[in-house]
Amino acid sequence: MTRSEPVFILGGAQTDFARNVHREGGTLIDLLREATSGALESAQLTAADIGTAHVGNFLGEVYSGQGHLGGLLVESTPELAGIPVSRHEAACASGSMAVLAATAELDAGRAEVALVVGVELMRADGGFAAQQALGAAAWVPRETQGVEYPWPHLFSLLAAEYDRRYGLDHVHLGALARKAFANATKNPVAQTREWNVVDGNFADDDDLNPLVAGMLRRYDCSQVTDGSAAVVLASEVAARSWATDRGLTLDDVPRIEGWGHRTARMTMAGKLADHADDPFVLPHVKATIDDAFGRAGIADVAQIDAIETHDCFTISEYAAIDHFGLTAPGESWRAIEDGVVDLGGSTPINPGGGLTGGGHPVGATGVRMLWDAAKQVSNQAGECQVDGARRVATLNIGGNATTVASFVVAAG
């Protein structure tokens, strides 16, 4: 795998994922404006410095009746008028697709500085309607017809496959949920930071943690969220000039060292059946991570200090553990029991709460992950900081791991 040319992260921002923006009277344009202004302020730049922009969003037309979000970004920040702006959709990986498109433009020399914004406003019609609409990321109607909770159902198939191959105890999924909520209490923009939870919320307790689908329970599921996140990306030439102007060196600036991106077939059942005898339950996810590592010039996860992964359900984080190589296939439970993935462990996962504790505004998630990784490697993560973090990996999945993206972010 040929090493990537680095793309630098000059700044970023995230809205408060605990807010119900619709209830406040806000709309998509308000989220776009807030994240954009925050990212520009963080980077100490103005809109006039941006040469291209990319928006990640999944269901603006469904949740808000609003499409054409490139133009809406310009309406939110009129100083961006005249630059090329594109919108990207890949379900829950929409934000990462926007990042990949921006980095490709920078690599090609079509621009020197890019803005990437991910956004989703999901809570206007309530949680049940929101998760029903998300069924559009599956194969409709093959995977959704007659299914009340499409995504818990589809990811329960992943849990069942782990159980079939290796055995799976819900106590380990509950431990991941407990970790997510505990980490979120340290994150000032996490959706659940002020939730009151007790041990029963993470146990096989049918009252405090009722079953939703298969062995997945309520607190195994991520949140329905309103929110936006943005990053400002730059080529090496632009980043060097930016750093010099601020008395910094390139080593001080977070950079994307490697990336991976693969797309599988739509159905969860099809993915699982195609690779029923593979030691990895989702081998294309493993290959995506390996692509990112290869482009970053690193051998394996031993060179990673922390991970931001897609825990739309606890089982997706469980799968990420062995696919990243923290354990042998099917032995993710070992890393959970040994505390490897805890905030104080050797390779913390989702130190800010992830999707389960932090929130999951679908189109923003990939961008939020990238920004959190950048904050970690530049020692800006506050109470969520992993001591000594200099290289962080991300894993963002769309649908039932149909679209998969991974980045390696480093500094120093």
User: 31-53 b/e with 16+ CB inside 10 Å = b?
Assistant: bbbbbbebbbebbebebebbbbb
Q: Please indicate, yes or no, whether residues 265 and 375 belong to a single structural domain of this protein.
A: yes
Task: Examine residue 355 and state whether it is found in any structural domain, yes or no.
Answer: yes
- Euclidean distance between CA atoms 351 and 358, whole angstroms: 10
Q: Please indicate, yes or no, whether residues 117 and 198 belong to a single structural domain of this protein.
A: no
Q: Please indicate, yes or no, whether residues 272 and 243 belong to a single structural domain of this protein.
A: no
Q: Please indicate, yes or no, whether residues 276 and 313 belong to a single structural domain of this protein.
A: yes
Task: Examine residue 1 and state whether it is found in any structural domain, yes or no.
Answer: no
Task: Examine residue 90 and state whether it is found in any structural domain, yes or no.
Answer: yes
Nearest alpha carbon to residue 377 among 284, 306, 291? 306
Please name the residue that has the structure tokens 């195609």: 274
Low-confidence ranges of the chain (pLDDT < 50): none
The answer to whether 225 touches 360, Cβ cutoff 8 Å, is yes
Task: Examine residue 204 and state whether it is found in any structural domain, yes or no.
Answer: yes
Question: What local confidence, expressed as pLDDT, does residue 362 receive?
Answer: 98
Task: Examine residue 131 and state whether it is found in any structural domain, yes or no.
Answer: no
CATH code of the domain in which 303 resides: 3.40.47.10
Identity (one letter) of the amino acid at 296? A
Task: Examine residue 211 and state whether it is found in any structural domain, yes or no.
Answer: yes
What is the spatial order of strands in the sheet that 52-56 belongs to? Answer: 85-88, 52-56, 113-120, 227-234, 7-14, 255-263, 403-410, 391-398, 306-309
Nearest alpha carbon to residue 191 among 257, 248, 122, 238? 122
Q: Please indicate, yes or no, whether residues 283 and 388 belong to a single structural domain of this protein.
A: yes
Question: What local confidence, expressed as pLDDT, does residue 1 receive?
Answer: 67
Task: Examine residue 108 and state whether it is found in any structural domain, yes or no.
Answer: yes
Give the HSE-up count for residue 263: Cα atoms under 13 Å, Cβ half-sphere: 8
Q: Please indicate, yes or no, whether residues 187 and 72 belong to a single structural domain of this protein.
A: no
Question: What local confidence, expressed as pLDDT, does residue 338 receive?
Answer: 98
Q: Please indicate, yes or no, whether residues 156 and 41 belong to a single structural domain of this protein.
A: no
Count of the separate structural domains present in the chain: 2
The answer to whether 35 touches 13, Cβ cutoff 8 Å, is yes
Give the residue numbers spanning the domain of 306: 136-223+259-410
The answer to whether 363 touches 113, Cβ cutoff 8 Å, is no
Task: Examine residue 2 and state whether it is found in any structural domain, yes or no.
Answer: no
Q: Please indicate, yes or no, whether residues 305 and 210 belong to a single structural domain of this protein.
A: yes
Q: Is 337 exposed, middle or buried (0-12, 13-18, 19+ CB in 10 A)?
A: exposed
Q: Please indicate, yes or no, whether residues 375 and 284 belong to a single structural domain of this protein.
A: yes
Count the neighbouring beta carbons within 10 Å of the beta carbon of residue 132.
Answer: 17
Q: Please indicate, yes or no, whether residues 270 and 361 belong to a single structural domain of this protein.
A: yes
Question: What local confidence, expressed as pLDDT, does residue 175 receive?
Answer: 98
State whether residue 175 is helix, strand or coil: helix
Q: Please indicate, yes or no, whether residues 218 and 241 belong to a single structural domain of this protein.
A: no
Q: Please indicate, yes or no, whether residues 327 and 364 belong to a single structural domain of this protein.
A: yes
- Print the SS3 string covering 113-128: EEEEEEEECCCCCCHH
- Euclidean distance between CA atoms 280 and 277, whole angstroms: 8
The answer to whether 404 touches 100, Cβ cutoff 8 Å, is no
